[in-house]
Amino acid sequence: MKFVLALSVLVFSFSSYAEVGFKNGNERTAVLSEGRIFVHCDGGIGGGPTSGSFRCTEEILLTGEYDYFVGPASVPGDEVTLVARHEDGSQRTKTVDYDSAKGRTKKQINLWIATLLQRPLLDPGKNIVSYKLTKNGKITAAGEFIATVKDGGRRTCSRSATYWSNISSDCQNGGSLCQRYFSENNYCL
């Protein structure tokens, strides 16, 4: 009887830690979406209308570029630090507030979007993600899991789009119209 009880506790412990990772899964697929837009701009005072043609590209994760980290069940915590070690040897660290009542981070974590001000946690390929859950600065749980980003290839939108803009710079660089184009075309999926 003691053996069965000990085995049950051991299985429960492993199963509660087996769910650690990202809410929408630890296997992701990255797709490069491509398309073409034409932009016509009002040249403003003294200038005539101008136009431009642009090839838009954007790489997306199919299950979303942001996601919640889900920690081990029933473990208290108010902060979690995630360190992702990438295949090329680089690493990225994110520390976010944690809601132990929900068993996840309070906000979604940037997994994929790279801009001037933000860096993604994950890289293409295999990412070994270590986590350290703390409550009032004391470690309550630690471990690691693997998050994989597979190459989903290229998708080309079957149609091009034409936009009119009052902003003359849109005819020089496309501005935010590529984002609008992909949004309207479901990222060519």
How many domains are contained in the chain? 1
What tens digit of pLDDT does each residue of 94-146 get?
A: 999 999 999 999 999 999 999 889 999 999 999 999 999 999 999 999 999 99
Q: Confirm whether 38 is domain-assigned.
A: yes
pLDDT score of 49: 64
State which amino acid sits at residue 65.
E
Token code pair at residue 86: 């990438």
Range of the domain at 90: 19-188
Domain assignment of residue 63, yes or no: yes
Instruction: Point out which residues pair with 41 in neighbouring strands.
Output: 50, 165
pLDDT of 5 > 60? The answer is no
From residue 133, alpha-carbon distances to 15, 56, 71 in Å are 18, 40, 8
Q: How far apart are CA 90 and CA 123, in angstroms?
A: 9
For residue 102, being part of any structural domain is answered with yes
Res 172: pLDDT: 85
Q: Is residue 119 part of a domain?
A: yes
